[in-house]
Amino acid sequence: VKHAGKNGYELFVKSMNVVAKRRLELESNLRKAIELNELSLNYQPQIDMQTNRIIGVEALLRWHSEELGFVSPVEFIPVAEETGLITPIGEWVMREACAQAVRWQVQGLPEIRMAVNLSVRQFAKQSLEKQVNQVLLDTGLPVHCLELEITENMMMDDVEGSVETLHRLKALGVQLAIDDFGTGYSSLSYLKRFPIDRLKVDRSFITHVTTDPGDASVTQAIIAVAHNLGLSVTAEGVEEESQLAFLREHSCEEVQGYLFSRPLKADDLAELLGSNNGY
Ligand code: C2E
Ligand code: CA
Ligand code: CA
Ligand code: CA
C-alpha cells in the first residue's frame, strides 16, 4: 500500500469498504435467518469400508438468504462466531439434526450416527453439556447416535478445560470426533488425553494422497497413530477410486466424499438410506 501511491491507496480503501459492507450485510441478514426459516441442513453420508454401507451422516449447514442468495458456511460461520450469532444458530443446528435423525428412525430406516459440527464458542460454553443433554431429551435421539465434531484448534487455548469438557460430554454417552485432523496446532502428546472416538483426516491430505508422497505419509501416520490409540479414522473429501483404494489398503475405517455422495437434503438421504444402504 505504501508504495502504491494515491491510486493504490484509494483502491485499498475501496476494497476495505467492500469487505466491511459485505460483513455488515451478512451480519444483519444472519440475525433474521432463523426466524425467516432461511437455514437448513444437508446430510453427507459416511461409509463403512467393511460393509460399504452408510454408517453415519454429517450435518452441514446451508443458508439461503432472501436478500443475499446462497451463502457458503465458509463465509458466514466466521461472521456468526464473531458476532455471537453462532450460539442460537448452533443450538438450532443441534436440535434440527437430532430431530431429523429421529424422523428417519421413525420411518423405519436403519439407525445411523448423526455428526454435528461444533463452533469455537459453543465448545467454550460451560452450558454445552446441559444443552446437548436437553436436545437429546427433547428429541428422543438415543445418545450413542450423536457425534460431535471438534477441531484441534478449539482445544488449544485451554487444554485442561477442554479435556474436562470432553470428559463431561463423553460421560453423557455421545461420540466425539476431531475434525480436520492434521491441519491444526495440537500436538500428538495431547491426543492421548482426549477421550475421543475418531479422527477425521482433512481433505487437504486426501486430495493428493495417491500422487504426493508427503500427503501419503501424513495420512498413513495419522491412521497408524489413531489405531495405536484405539481410535477409528474417517477420511474426508474422497473423490476418486484410487484414493479409496489407498485408504482401504491402509485400513481406514470410514470414508466421506463426493465419490459416494454430496451432502443431500433429508428426503434424498432417506431415499438413499432406504434403497439398499450400500454402495
Ligand atoms: P467441514 O466440517 O470440514 O465439512 C466438510 C466440507 O467439505 C463440507 O463443506 C462438505 O460439503 C465438503 N466436502 C465433502 N466431501 C467433499 C469432497 O469430496 N470434495 C470437496 N471438494 N468437498 C467436500 P461445506 O458444507 O461447505 O462446509 C464448510 C465448513 O463449514 C465445514 O467444514 C465446517 O467447518 C463449517 N460448517 C458447516 N456446517 C456447520 C455447522 O452446522 N456448524 C459449524 N460450526 N460449522 C459448520
Ligand atoms: Ca466437520
Ligand atoms: Ca472436516
Ligand atoms: Ca475442512
63 CB neighbour count, 10 Å cutoff:
22
More confident residue, 134 or 14: 134
- 67 alpha carbon to ligand 4 midpoint, in Å? 27
- Contact residues of ligand 1, CB 6 A cut-off: 44, 60-61, 72-74, 77, 93, 117-119, 179-180, 203, 237-239, 256-258, 263
When mean pLDDT is compared across 96-110, 175-189, 192-206, 222-236, the lowest value belongs to 175-189
Residue 60 Cα to ligand 1 middle (Å): 6
Strands 232-235 and 69-71: unpaired
Mean of pLDDT over the chain: 94
Residue 12 is predicted with a pLDDT of 73
Q: Mark 184-203 as b/e (b = at least 16 C-beta within 10 Å).
A: bebeeeebeebebbbbbbbb
Closest C-alpha residue for ligand 1 atom 8: 60
The pLDDT tens digits for 186-223 are 778 889 999 999 999 999 999 999 999 999 999 999 99
Task: Give mean pLDDT, residues 111-115.
Answer: 97
**pTM for this prediction:** 0.94
Q: What's the pLDDT score for residue 8?
A: 79
The residue nearest atom 7 of ligand 1, judged by CA position, is 237
Helix axes 128-139, 159-172, angle to 10 degrees: 20
Structure-derived torsion over alpha carbons of residues 132, 180, 40, 84, reported in degrees to the nearest 10: 60
Q: Which run of H or of E encompasses 277?
A: none
Give yes or no for a contact between 9 and 1, defined as CB atoms under 8 angstroms apart. Answer: yes
pLDDT at 278: 61
Listed in order, strand segments (DSSP E) in 49-171 are 53-65, 69-71, 113-117, 146-151
C-alpha cell belonging to residue 136: 437429546
**Nearest atom within ligand 1 for CA of residue 263:** 11
Is residue 173 a contact partner of residue 146, using CB atoms and an 8 Å limit?
Answer: no
C-beta neighbour count of 40 within 10 angstroms = 13
pLDDT band at 1 (very low <50, low <70, confident <90, very high): very low
ipTM: 0.98
Per-residue model confidence (pLDDT) at position 257: 98
In degrees to the nearest 10, what's the CA dihedral of 7, 8, 10, 16? 160
| Span 130-163, pLDDT tens digits | 999 999 999 999 999 999 999 998 988 899 999 9
Q: Which whole number is the average pLDDT over 87-112?
A: 97
The residue whose C-alpha atom lies closest to atom 15 belonging to ligand 1 is 257
